[in-house]
Chains A and B, each alone.
Chain A
Amino acid sequence: MSGERILIEGGRIVDPASGFDGPGTVCVADGVIAGVGAPPDGFEADRRVDASGQIVCPGFVDLCARLREPGQEHKGSIASESAAAAAGGVTTLCCPPDTVPVIDTPAVVKLVTERAEQAGKVRVLPIGALTRGLTGTDLSEMYALKRAGCLALGNADRPLAHPLVLRRALEYAASFDLVVVFRPEDPWLRSQGCVHEGVVSSRLGLPGIPETAETVAVAQALPLIEQTGVRAHFGQLSSGRAVEMVAEARARGVHVSADVAVHHLHLTESDVDGFDALCHSRPPFRTMADRDALRAAVADGRISAVCSDHQPHEPDAKLDVFPETEPGLSSLQTLLPLMCALVAEGWLSLSDAIARMTAGPAAILGLASGRLVPGAPADICVFDPASAWVPAQGGWLSAGRNTPFWEWTLTGRVTATLAGGRLVYSSGDIASARIG
């Protein structure tokens, strides 16, 4: 279907980047947006998509989704998870470097991107390792990783050996204008923790991860970010205090941004009660006050991106005593409905919710996607904001079913996804017909 001219009509177009919010058509030709609002003169479509009653917006840009390939194909594959991404409206995703082998050489970058191309669904942007093998000691060949296609580097959830390595890594990354992605967690303060250190951890006798594991790591990184001038991004913040610290630094002019995983906007420490391994997450779900602080920061833009932090697992990974289970949720397909839930609860407007999944994350990485303007990549999501569905009842494409939302009735469902001008997902609930 490459090169197909597509007309998406009848929907409400919501493009936070351009401020467009209203009815109209979106035209696609040669893999890019050809027109928004009204078809350009002489545009003849090969395919029409009827988006009546639906939202047409940019495809989502997900800053953190693990695809498990290479090395952990028993949990998922680039093919399965990129199909799930397309079903979730995600058209560009960043995969962290903690694959096996680690994404610390151009060869592994190439392997990931080529397999993503073979899968033919969505654009996969590997995040390169900040240190070789993620060991935290030796710098990776950052320039080589950049040349291979990495826009950002990070150390996944592995610590650096000491602050001097961090300083050098940031300085070196800044030399090549690479974004450095942090998942802030002090390993000493985390220790053996597996849930938020608070009332629930004390009751259940589970080792806790204090809020300070996150805030101390942020506090350590911020002066070095400021000193080195690197563009830095804090991924998957879990505490209100950490958000404040990042916002204060940003207000001072430090090149720093932040995202939050969508499930941290809904779940709290109480959800692990009863030792529910499906709610075993790292960072952990914290207090209701933290959850609400994260929601408020997403609403006012201090957190400019919401990611899926997708981590598919095989069933056995969650079938053990809680501390022995593997953390993480399969969440590509719950990204949209969980954001729709925040809109329904009045936390933010639909346009702002879409912005946090599109223009916000795209700006962090300097991507041309995340907007519906002529000439931009034709990455488009069409969704029905009122469609209710239950993951357990079908349509779940990720190999990982490890989500506490499995039996929930979710509202907001993707009906069609275009990536690079190709229809990569269609739910069957949307009329899409070739012309002629």
Chain B
Amino acid sequence: MSATAAADIQLDASGRLRHFLTVEGLSRELLVRIMDTAESFAGVTAQNVKKVPLLRGKTVVNLFFENSTRTRTTFELAAKRLSADVLNINIATSATSKGESLLDTVRNLEAMHVDMFVVRHAQSGAAHFIARHVAPHISVLNAGDGRHAHPTQAMLDVFTIRRCKGEFAGLKVAIVGDILHSRVARSEIWALNTLGVEEVRVVAPKTLLPAHVEALGVVPYHDLSEGLRDVDVVIMLRLQLERMGSAFIPSEHEYFQRFGLTEKRLEKARPDVIVMHPGPINRGIEIDSAIADGPRSVILPQVTNGIAVRMAVMSMAMHAGPDMEVAA
């Protein structure tokens, strides 16, 4: 399936967002619209009453087959701030762990007349698979599937970049670390290139880069100091040790020596560089605490922005944005 086809499953006949599975194939205009919608929701979280009634009467199911705190919490908060009812499925104690197939799990939840699935799964393609098999009125949002995609994380990252930098044109962005196992990196690469940044770099040892990584639209570096030269944005990634077998890196110590973000290395970047991290961070393995907690870090604003972005995507997928009527 081509990028166009990938987008097709995400859009309805009118070109509106139906599912949000991947950034790949979506237009620049749609990504900008998501960010603009998120901007309109950002104020909601600062109000005394942090709710809007856009998804009142709708039921959102958080279907997490992998452990998550940050992502699940922000999706839950986003749904609740849109006044939706939220159901959290604990897969560890669900029927799936008793041998029920993924499709049967989805079908059973579907029979309870839910309106949206927020899916996290350890295998690439899970969100696509569910989206292909759900009833027409149900939306599927990908909260991270294997190594494939984490589109809302990418959108909150580019939203954060836009808030800090204003424009994407001319920006140089370095994504540092375990690109191979990172669904966040893949989605960020699509988003950044679609939004027209000047250059996306990936910095990692060859063991942590996917095959033919240049084909994704990035410039690979194996030297962090070189990779950071004159960049406007640094996105650090967590070493996903739980997804690794053996022999990707000799040790965390050596990894930090060569690819850890330190004050000295960050001097290579532009003076107004911002440092991002999708979390959770491993201090002293991929990033020095002084940077993580320092003035150039926007790690916590990323988390805050995540709620607004997820509200935006949820409302758009349910065709209930701030400028739209809630579907009856």
Contacts and interface: CB of A to CB of B under 8 A. Distances in A.
Interface of A: 191-192, 197-199, 201-208, 210, 273-276, 316, 319-324
Size bracket of the B interface: 20 to 34
Contacts of B280: none
Contacts of B123: 321-324
Given A320-B101, A320-B129, A208 B211 contact: yes
Contacts of A324: 102, 123
A176 B102 CA distance: 49
B224 interface: no
A72 B121 CA distance: 29
Max chain B C-beta neighbours (<10 A), residue from A203, A208, A316: A203
A275 B211 contact: no
Nearest to A208: B211
Given A205-B149, A205-B183, A210-B211, A275 B129 contact: yes
B146 A323 contact: yes
Interface in B132-151: 145-149
Contact of A322 (B24, B124, B186, B213): B124
A53 B65 CA distance: 58
B212 A202 contact: yes
Contacts, number: 79
Contacts of A320: 101-103, 129
Contacts of B126: 321
A273 B5 CA distance: 9
A22 B145 CA distance: 58
B294 interface: no
B6 interface: yes
Contacts of B102: 320-321, 324
Contact of B1 (A191, A274, A316): A274
Given A204-B125, A273-B1, 17 more contacts: A199-B212, A199-B215, A201-B210, A204-B148, A205-B147, A205-B149, A206-B125, A206-B146, A206-B148, A207-B147, A273-B2, A274-B5, A275-B1, A275-B125, A320-B101, A322-B124, A323-B125
Can you list the 9 inter-chain pairs with the closest CB atoms, starting with the nearest? A274-B1, A205-B147, A205-B148, A202-B210, A275-B125, A321-B123, A322-B125, A273-B1, A205-B124
Nearest to B149: A205
Interface of B: 1-2, 5-6, 9, 24, 101-103, 121, 123-126, 128-129, 145-149, 183, 186, 210-213, 215-216, 245
Nearest to A196: B211
Contacts of B211: 197-199, 201-202, 208, 210
A147 B264 CA distance: 74
Contacts of A203: 24, 186, 215-216
Contacts of A202: 210-213, 215-216
B1 to A, nearest CB: 3
A182 B24 CA distance: 39
B186 A323 contact: no
Contacts of A275: 1, 124-125, 128-129
Contacts of B128: 274-275
A321 B129 contact: yes
A324 B124 CA distance: 10
Contact of A204 (B5, B9, B124, B129): B124
Nearest to B212: A199
Contacts of A208: 211
B99 to A, nearest CB: 12
Nearest to A195: B124
A314 B128 CA distance: 21
B49 to A, nearest CB: 40
A365 to B, nearest CB: 37
Contact of B103 (A192, A319, A323): A319
A62 B209 CA distance: 40
Contacts of A204: 124-125, 148
B215 A205 contact: no
A320 B212 CA distance: 27
14 contacts: A198-B211, A199-B211, A201-B210, A203-B24, A203-B215, A205-B124, A205-B186, A208-B211, A273-B6, A276-B1, A320-B102, A321-B145, A322-B124, A324-B123
Contacts of B145: 205, 321
Max chain B C-beta neighbours (<10 A), residue from A199, A206, A275: A275
A192 B124 CA distance: 13
B186 A321 contact: no
Given A204-B124, A205-B186, A322 B129 contact: yes
A206 B213 contact: no
Contacts of A319: 101, 103
B128 to A, nearest CB: 5
A277 to B, nearest CB: 8
A276 B245 CA distance: 26
A319 B126 CA distance: 11
Max chain B C-beta neighbours (<10 A), residue from A204, A208, A322, A323: A204
A204 B123 CA distance: 11
Contacts of B6: 273-274
Contacts of A316: 101
B183 to A, nearest CB: 6
A106 to B, nearest CB: 37
Max chain B C-beta neighbours (<10 A), residue from A197, A199, A205, A324: A205
A288 to B, nearest CB: 14
Max chain B C-beta neighbours (<10 A), residue from A201, A274, A276: A274
B245 A191 contact: yes
A249 to B, nearest CB: 27
Nearest to B24: A203
B185 to A, nearest CB: 9
Contacts of B213: 202
Max chain A C-beta neighbours (<10 A), residue from B146, B183, B213, B216: B146
Contacts of B5: 273-274
A208 B209 CA distance: 12
